[in-house]
Chain A
Amino acid sequence: MRVAASLAFALAAIFANAAQAQNPIPVKIGVLTDMSSLYADDTGPGSVAAAKLAIQDFNPAAHGMKVDLVVADHQNKPDVGASIARQWFDVDHVDMIVDVPNSAVALAVSDVTRQKNKVFLVSGAAISDLTGPKCSPNTIHWTYDTWMLANGTGKSVVKTGGKTWFFITADYAFGHALQRDTSAVVEANGGKVLGSVNVPLNNQDFSSFLLQAQQSKAQIIGLANAGGDTINSIKQGAEFGITAGGQHFAGLLVFLPDVEALGLKAAQGLVLTETFYWDMNDATRAWTKRWQVSRPGKFPSMNQAGVYSATLHYLKAVAALKSAADGKAVVAEMKKLPTNDPLFGKGMIRADGRKIHPAYLFQVKSPAESKYPGDDYILKATIPADEAFRPMSQDNCPLVNAAK
């Protein structure tokens, strides 16, 4: 079996080399995302549109390449995500998977990708374990992670006087990780955590938990949850007079589409950390305009911008190697090349697979301050690239230790 397989592989390699002279290098990219559920607006069709723009801007024909794109919905189930990834690699000859919101699914896909020696570029998922204990030579974590969110929002809020915290935490691994990371940052900066409450998934009504937060008398209510949960917490918090009573929310994982869904009236004053905002500069505005051709009336989230940036950089690395076949080699090449694109600017990828770029602390505008659609954020602070993400020394990533 083994011999036959390696023989077949060798033959395939010879043919591939021979074919390269005339035929363009085939590359197939799979956007594996949430097309229909809670993260669909933060990623979903908008991520697909972003990947298409990346391919268009890269111009495969000019590099002697032919790039195809496939899309699937992982339904936020790790088993569905893993089986689609497996099938894509085995049957459909997909070389790279991009996006994958939902930490559980991303961890599962990362395992499959390593087994099949392909490439996995995470833009949508948050869990910082992807560059920590679960890091992989085939995976790059692109846009953001839980450590960065905790660090960005946590540190700045403590420094501006939010010393006492109460957490409303989604009762699953991602929520606990976010709370753990943020608590550490808060305490390291002289703040204090007064309490927390774990909220089951698919909970609609947060008033009971908000009341507990209110009674804790904490200055800051940290929301270690995502999507609809965050939206409902903030919305009901406004209703119960939480903000009027002098307490403030810190959204640990809030995306622009969530702010749009909440409306500025409910979301105003919220402090959050992102790595991309469409209205940053002329380049991001121009890109947004092109993106909006396929997503009229919407504004891109940082996840979607990350898909663009990651796909573009991946294609550059494949062009340099003239082959997408060996996933580890492509990732190594991606780490070697400096990154540069209009959305995230210049950056690099660390040995543990962490993409490094600055992060920004934003505050949501009030309805009166917002001048045009999508004018939602005020930039409060820029966290420089070398401080935005967890230092490699604290990673516990086996890849890094092996290199030492």
Chain B
Amino acid sequence: MFEIFGVPSQALFGQLLIGLINGSFYALLSLGLAVIFGMLNVINFTHGAQYMMGAFAAYLLLQYLGLNYWVALVVVPLLVGASGMLVERLFLQYVRQLDHLYGLILTFGLALVIEGLFRNYFGSSGEPYQPPDLLQGGQNLGFMFLPNYRAWVIVFSLVVCFVTWFVIERTRLGSYLRAATENPALVRAFGINVPRMVTLTYGFGVGLAALAGVMAAPIYNVSPQMGSDVIIVVFAVVVIGGMGSILGAIITGFALGIIEGLTKVFFPEASSTVIFVIMAIVLLIRPTGLFGRTA
């Protein structure tokens, strides 16, 4: 066994793997944020609250309807995504053409309302949620014990990220979407209902947040403030990756998970700050983020 900076290499492998798991959540969340920003030009600060709603929806389905994790994985993104579409119709459509600031404040306000309501009904210490029976237990990898559920999180989020990237960047539907953000008038002239497409896109982005919420429920406690704890980090991930860049959000999400994981070994106190250091450096060197198109 060799050592790297006084840390046994085996321990380091374990930490890298854990970083990758956290990176999966960052990637999933920032992916949704990036899709919404890219298509709607709105910085969706409600994203954290929608992630929290996803986790609570899974909890409520189990508690009151007896529907298990697997059902929740399908149903919850649809439900929460639908609520997102309602939000877009009721509020967001009025701020899309304005400066980013207004969209940001509006969604921030909505996030406060949602979080406040959930705190009123569920208290603040949260509710437990067990991982599905199929994924209980774990594997001994020699250098660490990997819970099956965590392995599932990595694999599943990679699949979701890839599919999303593929749909938006490589299919006809995705090309309509991208065209609609570049030039809505022209796309409308082709007979495509742009407002509806925008609504559906927002619903999709929110659905991704809810999906991340369902996946997070068995790992973290389902609590009303789980969203506000991650939103700033996820937001930073999107900025580092380049606002609106799908691939950038995915790669940066995983990469930052790993960097954060390593910080937790070498300088644990700074692990929540390292992301901002990276953001400052990246923005000073590459103004539009690592994968952003030049404005």
Measuring CB to CB, which residues of chain A are less than 8 angstroms from any residue of chain B?
36-42, 44, 171, 197-205, 207-209, 211-212, 214-215, 227-228, 231-232, 235-236, 239-241, 245, 257-258, 260-263, 265-266
Contacts and interface: CB of A to CB of B under 8 A. Distances in A.
Interface of B: 8, 11, 14-15, 18-19, 21-22, 116, 119, 123-128, 130-131, 138, 144-145, 147, 149-150, 219-221, 223, 225-226, 229-230, 261, 264-265, 268-273
Nearest to B123: A41
Contacts of B268: 171, 197-200, 208-209
A200 B272 CA distance: 7
Identify which of A199, A236, A240, A262 gathers the most chain B CB atoms within 10 Å of its CB: A240
Contacts of A228: 125-126, 221, 223, 225
A198 B220 contact: no
B11 A211 contact: yes
Contact of A232 (B147, B150, B221, B271): B221
The 6 closest A-B pairs by CB, nearest first: A263-B128, A208-B264, A200-B272, A261-B125, A41-B125, A40-B124
B59 to A, nearest CB: 12
Given A202-B272, A204-B226, A258 B125 contact: yes
A203 B220 contact: no
Nearest to B140: A241
B22 A205 contact: yes
Contacts of A200: 268-273
A226 to B, nearest CB: 11
Contacts of B150: 207, 239
B144 A261 contact: no
Contacts of B130: 263, 265
Contact of B126 (A36, A199, A239, A261): A261
A228 B123 CA distance: 12
13 contacts: A39-B124, A40-B123, A40-B125, A197-B268, A208-B271, A211-B11, A215-B8, A215-B11, A228-B225, A231-B221, A235-B221, A239-B131, A265-B130
Nearest to A34: B124
A202 B232 CA distance: 12
Nearest to B115: A36
A231 B124 CA distance: 12
